[in-house]
Chain A
Amino acid sequence: MQSNRLGWILLAPTLVILFFFGVVPFFYVLWLSFHQWNPFALDPAVVYNGADNFRALVFDSGFLASLGVTLAFVFFAVLSELIVGYLLAQAFLKDFPGKAIFRTIHTLPLIMAPIIVGSIWKLMTTPSIGIIPSLLDSWFGFDLNIGTSAVAAFTVTVVMDIWHWTPLVTLTLIAALVSLPADPFEQAQIDGANKRQIFWHITLPMIAPALLATVFIRLMDALRTVDEVLMLTGGGPGSATRYLGVHIFKEVFPRTNYGYGSAVSIIVLYLTIVSCWLLYVALIAPRNKKA
């Protein structure tokens, strides 16, 4: 084994960059979250107000509602992406003609910027002039109106997210699946295991680290979704799709409520870290230690 000094040297550039561009801004936001600051208040100064922001948060119905819809959004979107993404990745492992083309097609949504995705879906779903409501109406007589129906708007944001991000899950899972060794599978087949047993007892444990890494990435990205939703619904109708990213955006940008917005961000960050940490400690860390 090499000396640990080399290890630290290899790690150093990463730590330095993340420190200067991640940690330092974080401390600024943390500091700000204990202050009242709106540059357009009568007194535009930054004033220390202790834990007032955090106290207000607990009773802020707007924030709590936003937290609720965000969790629902993340749950439906990420779960669907995982299931669909895994199935598609499996389907890509088989050989069939035209596979390369299909794989390229499948990755296309990924290369579209969120603001473009939001725009396309907005144009496709605008009541009466969008193609989707128009077709649904003429085929099934179903009225899809994302401007008035909270359920419709929520569903469209979830479907949009699935469309956009499933390819990410597929790609990372393909990478994980192709590097699996073949022996355990052969052994299992010899032992007469069925498909379901192989999946639960061999495939899943072996791809678990990659799968969880993907879950984490999708989880935290979905939690901070802004551009797409802002473009598609603006957070409406009402507050139906005012997800935390959008909520914070509106708090900080138009309302210039920096102190309170920072407090909201800190809480959101804290909740994300804690829930990810729990998942991580339970599922990944022991594995890495063994390795």
Chain B
Amino acid sequence: MRRQRTWLYLLFWTVVSFFTLFPIYWLFVISVKPAVELFSTPEVILSSVYWKNYVDVLNDETLRGYMVNSLIISTGNAFLVTVLGFLACYALSRFNLGGKESIFFWTITNRMAPPAVFLLPLFLLLTQVYRFGDFTLLDTKIGMILVYCTFNLPFAIWTLRPTIDGIPKELDEAAFVDGASAWTVITEIVLPLARPGLAVTLILTWVFAWNEYLLAATLTNFNARTLTTGLSEYVTTTGTEWGVMAAISMFTLIPALIVFSLVQRHIVAGLTFGAVKG
């Protein structure tokens, strides 16, 4: 009976994984084909492999620069919004702040804005208003980290709120009674218990920042360009270089996978926590 169950799960997940993986497999197929072969009746199984696209990508220093920018911006942003979101959620959950439910709801409205039209005001603000002498936030990594807060900070607050609310208040109240400082309570009592939620928030905000295109395309020029904007260089009037684009996309998966596997452990840790708590 048990064993049968296991096989059923394996079968189920194999089927699901097939559907999940097929488009990615196809991305790989595209990356190892010369462009001209894409325009013929497709074959599911590769008959020959063409590595030139990967060689081109590896030899491109500019792309490496974009990759580094992307890593800095998305990692910086994910940490920033997770920390700020965590603190904000703690405040919303534990304090009796006037209008806090309205504030909570208002934060999410920042994510609802259709991006296209907000590019212009952001561009104007970054170039003309938020400037310090000659230094403007346009085309800087710190500028992008801050701009990405508009969609990631609300997300962090909204995904963390249920987690923080779910941590029994009695725990931190007891600690306060024992004379612990607010800092100790937050870092040593609430933080460890919120780990699975924090891990998920960190992963997902990282992913959103890593994948963002429209804002980066408008608000960066030379110094802070990200990988997604680099991709758009391969979509040109004289021929979209699907192969190179696919090869770059395969490369973008690697850092993302590393980040994922690093953080996923904490979600698993959360699993045992849930069991112990019961």
Contacts and interface: CB of A to CB of B under 8 A. Distances in A.
A113 B165 CA distance: 32
Contacts of A98: 10, 13
Interface in B223-278: 227-228, 231-232, 242, 245-246, 249, 252-253, 256-257, 260-261, 264, 267-268, 270-271, 273-275, 277-278
A209 B9 contact: no
What are the 6 closest A-B residue pairs judged by CB atoms, nearest first? A182-B278, A7-B95, A111-B256, A25-B121, A28-B121, A22-B110
Interface string A263-277: 011001100110011
B30 A112 contact: no
B158 interface: yes
A115 B116 contact: no
Given A96-B6, A175-B270, A288-B101, A22 B159 contact: no
B158 A216 contact: yes
A112 B9 contact: no
Contacts of B50: none
A119 interface: yes
Interface string B97-130: 1000101110111111111111111101100011
A216 B203 contact: no
Interface of A: 1-2, 4, 6-8, 10-11, 13-15, 17-18, 20-26, 28-29, 88, 91, 94, 96-98, 100, 102-117, 119-121, 123-124, 128-131, 134-135, 163, 168, 171-172, 174-183, 186, 209-210, 213-214, 216-217, 220-221, 223-224, 226-227, 244-245, 248-249, 251-253, 258, 261-262, 264-265, 268-269, 272-273, 276-277, 280, 285, 288-289, 291
Nearest to A7: B95
A4 B260 contact: no
Contacts of B124: 28
Nearest to A88: B16
A96 B10 CA distance: 8
Contacts of A115: 213, 228, 231-232
B146 interface: yes
Interface of B: 6, 9-10, 12-13, 16-17, 19-21, 23-24, 26-27, 30, 38-42, 44, 84-85, 87-88, 90-97, 101, 103-105, 107-122, 124-125, 129-130, 146-147, 149-150, 153-155, 157-159, 161-163, 165-166, 173, 176, 182, 196-197, 199-200, 203-204, 207, 210-214, 227-228, 231-232, 242, 245-246, 249, 252-253, 256-257, 260-261, 264, 267-268, 270-271, 273-275, 277-278
Contacts of A264: 114, 117
A223 B38 CA distance: 32
Contacts of B155: 217
A261 B84 contact: no
16 contacts: A7-B92, A25-B121, A97-B6, A102-B17, A105-B21, A109-B24, A110-B204, A110-B207, A111-B207, A171-B204, A172-B159, A175-B197, A179-B270, A217-B155, A224-B113, A248-B116
A224 B267 contact: no
Contacts of A213: 158-159, 161-162
Given A110-B207, A112-B253, A168-B204, A104 B261 contact: yes
